[in-house]
């Protein structure tokens, strides 16, 4: 998964979430222009994040483009109490655009996690790859490995980068995206590169604990993350003077 897949780029299609938003604002398709020309508009750019037509989301096998499955939070919560959360959610999952699913999760204040493979975020350093990720409500990315600059950009936006250890991956763990995840071991005393735990509640009704490496690599990045990103950190430093 490269930054070209993540970051909004190219022409804006009328049928995309960004295109539908612009039409709702009275803008004709011939005046859409490109994401590059609208990169200062977060309402457009957030809708274009993960909207690349070549993305292959393993949650929706056999498809290409920025689509995913939305698992109703109400079903997962009520099912969790009776031990059938994943089964209940899986039977009611709905396929929709990644942006639309993210907004539905935002309505219930449900934070999101991205599961990824090797060299996540490779390619050109695109700042909107991390900005758009944050605006969609993503709080953590768990990957087999990260591209150096994108990992740093995620921390700078307050998104937690976590790395699978011991050769494990989403595939080896049998994850399909219907699970519920919790991250334990974070505290005010976190250290660069320490181990934390990814708690997974899956369709087998059982919880699993998987060790993951905290890819906050330096002491200053710890400070950035504690403040919610580099911008809040810098602002608070200025206000403290």
pLDDT tens-digit map of 145-200: 999 999 999 999 999 999 999 889 999 999 999 999 999 999 989 999 999 999 99
Range of the domain at 109: 56-239
Percent over 90 (pLDDT), the chain = 83
Residue at 5 is within a domain? no
Residue at 127 is within a domain? yes
Percent over 70 (pLDDT), the chain = 93
- Between 206 and 60, residue with greater pLDDT: 60
Residue at 108 is within a domain? yes
Strand ranges of the sheet holding 160-164, from the earlier edge strand across to the other edge: 112-115, 138-143, 160-164, 207-214, 195-201, 180-184
Residue at 1 is within a domain? no
Residue 135: give its domain's CATH number: 3.20.19.10
For residue 49, count other CB atoms closer than 10 A to its CB. 28
Residue at 3 is within a domain? no
Residue pair 135/113 in contact by the 8 Å Cβ criterion: no
- Total domains in the chain come to 1
Q: What is the pLDDT of residue 74?
A: 59
Residue at 16 is within a domain? no
Q: How far apart are CA 35 and CA 40, in angstroms?
A: 9
224 pLDDT more than 90:
yes
Q: What is the pLDDT of residue 125?
A: 75
Residue at 32 is within a domain? no
Residue at 76 is within a domain? yes
Q: What is the pLDDT of residue 163?
A: 98
For residue 166, count other CB atoms closer than 10 A to its CB. 8
| Mean pLDDT on 119-124 | 92
Q: How far apart are CA 25 and CA 16, in angstroms?
A: 14
């Amino acid at each position: 998964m490269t930054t070209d897949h993540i970051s909004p780029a190219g022409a804006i299609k009328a049928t995309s979430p960004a295109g539908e938003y612009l039409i709702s604002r009275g803008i004709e398709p011939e005046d859409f222009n490109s994401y590059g020309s609208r990169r200062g508009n977060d309402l457009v750019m957030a809708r274009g994040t993960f909207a690349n037509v070549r993305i292959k989301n393993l949650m929706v096998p056999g498809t290409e483009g920025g689509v995913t499955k939305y698992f109703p939070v109400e079903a997962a919560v009520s099912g969790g109490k009776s031990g059938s959360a994943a089964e209940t959610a899986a039977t009611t999952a709905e396929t929709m655009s990644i942006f639309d699913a993210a907004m539905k999760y935002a309505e219930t204040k449900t934070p999101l996690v991205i599961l990824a493979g090797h060299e996540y975020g490779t390619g050109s350093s695109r700042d909107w790859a991390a900005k758009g990720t944050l605006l969609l409500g993503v709080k953590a990315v768990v990957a087999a490995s990260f591209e150096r600059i994108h990992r740093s950009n995620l921390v700078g936006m307050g998104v937690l980068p976590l790395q699978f250890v011991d050769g494990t991956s989403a595939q080896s763990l049998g994850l399909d995206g219907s699970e519920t995840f919790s991250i334990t071991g974070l505290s005010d005393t976190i250290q660069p590169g320490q181990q934390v735990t990814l708690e997974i509640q899956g369709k087998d009704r059982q919880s699993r604990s998987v060790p993951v490496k905290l890819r906050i690599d330096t002491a200053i990045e710890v400070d950035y993350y504690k403040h919610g990103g580099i911008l809040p950190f810098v602002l608070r430093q200025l206000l403290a003077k």
